[in-house]
């Protein structure tokens, strides 16, 4: 296990540095000279040399690799840069947006798992029946209809037509925040997000269970008279769910992409909406910080998933 951990960490480190390097390249592609961004027009007018001095002060006259290392140092201190637009540290802008996004994506993922995995299991156990085909076409539909279109349809049906649920925001203005109110606002966005995620869960669970059901130990269990449900739950299902831990981690970028669009459609005050606001106000450092945080998160989750899978399935450790 220790050897596996070390090997896995040796893979993760260059990937992490690569993620950061790519982010750094993106920072340099940004339009606008960081040296002038934080200066007032008066300062720029009054002193022609100020830009040069400013560049030296910020270290922008040094070679790129040196700047990269310096930038890494800044990251270690938790400095993700300054917002172009609001002139405050980026971390201050991201902070309050983390919780809403966690609530939304967490709920969406839990719903998707609670529905997707059982449906996938049922589809595998009834392979080539009507149920199997219906769930297959259903999950295909869910990944083929654009997320924003699903959102618009949900608003049209449940907010406009039926009037049951609010069409956007996280809480009703004017009344004090309560769990029930949050729930009402959460149902539509989390529902759409779970629909997006569910398709792959159904497909992977189904395929994985079908693969395991074909294995010899399942045949043996059947042959020695283990009851059907015992075979399914004890011998097949447990094994077939191991790959799902990895699928969950690998799906995180998709989850985030879905969250960006859903937060936009439902005016949900999370990180995704911050990204769109950042793009509209050309506030690139904010977007870049979100990109980097998510990339590092994806890496971390992939690592965790691999370790979990290795704990559950000793063969992977080899």
262 interacts with other proteins by CB under 8 A? no
Cβ at position 198, least distance to other proteins in Å: 11
Among 91, 253, 311, 317, binds other proteins (CB under 8 A): 253
Cβ at position 284, least distance to other proteins in Å: 7
List C-alpha distances in Å: 175 to 179, 270, 299.
12, 21, 40
Cβ at position 110, least distance to other proteins in Å: 19
187 interacts with other proteins by CB under 8 A? no
37 interacts with other proteins by CB under 8 A? no
279 interacts with other proteins by CB under 8 A? yes
φ/ψ of residue 72, rounded to 5: -60, -40
How many residues of this chain interact with other proteins, rule: CB under 8 A? 65
What is the spatial distance between Cα 35 and Cα 19, in angstroms, rounded to a whole number?
25
Among 112, 121, 251, 270, binds other proteins (CB under 8 A): 251
- Quote the radius of gyration of the chain (alpha carbons, Å): 25
Q: Which is nearer to other proteins, 133 or 228 (CB)?
A: 133
Stretch that binds other proteins, among 21-29, 59-67, 117-125, 226-234 (CB under 8 A): 21-29
Residues at the site binding other proteins, with contacts judged by CB under 8 A: 11, 14-15, 18-19, 22, 26, 29-31, 128, 140-141, 143-149, 152-153, 155-156, 160, 167, 199-200, 203-204, 207, 242-243, 246-247, 250-254, 256-257, 260-261, 264-265, 275-276, 279-280, 282, 284, 287-288, 290-291, 294-296, 298-299, 302, 306, 309, 316
């Amino acid at each position: 296990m220790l050897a596996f951990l070390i090997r896995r960490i040796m893979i993760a480190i260059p990937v992490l540095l690569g993620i950061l390097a790519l982010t750094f390249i993106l920072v340099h592609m940004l339009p606008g000279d960081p040296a002038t961004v934080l200066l007032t027009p008066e300062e720029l007018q009054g002193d022609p040399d100020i830009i040069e001095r400013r560049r030296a002060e910020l270290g922008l006259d040094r070679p790129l690799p040196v700047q990269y290392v310096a930038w890494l140092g800044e990251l270690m201190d938790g400095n993700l840069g300054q917002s172009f637009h609001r002139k405050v540290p980026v971390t201050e802008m991201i902070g309050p947006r983390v919780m809403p996004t966690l609530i939304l994506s967490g709920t969406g993922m839990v719903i998707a798992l609670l529905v997707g995995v059982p449906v996938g299991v049922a589809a595998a156990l009834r392979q080539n029946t009507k149920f199997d085909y219906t769930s297959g076409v259903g999950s295909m539909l869910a990944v083929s209809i654009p997320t924003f279109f699903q959102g618009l349809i949900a608003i049209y049906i449940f907010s406009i037509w039926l009037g049951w649920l609010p069409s956007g925001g996280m809480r009703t203005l004017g009344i004090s925040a309560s769990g029930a109110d949050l729930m009402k606002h959460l149902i539509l966005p989390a529902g759409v997000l779970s629909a997006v995620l569910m398709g792959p869960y159904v497909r992977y669970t189904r395929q994985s269970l079908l693969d395991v059901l074909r294995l010899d130990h399942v045949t043996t269990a059947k042959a020695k008279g283990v009851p059907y449900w015992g075979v399914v739950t004890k011998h097949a299902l447990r094994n077939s769910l191991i790959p799902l831990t990895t699928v969950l981690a690998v799906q995180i970028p998709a989850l985030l992409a879905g969250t960006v669009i859903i937060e936009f459609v439902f005016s949900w005050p999370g990180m995704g909406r911050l990204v769109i606001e950042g793009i509209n106000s050309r506030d690139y450092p904010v977007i870049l910080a979100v990109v980097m945080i998510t990339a590092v998160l994806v890496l971390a989750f992939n690592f965790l998933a691999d370790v979990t899978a290795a704990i559950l399935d000793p063969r992977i450790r080899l």
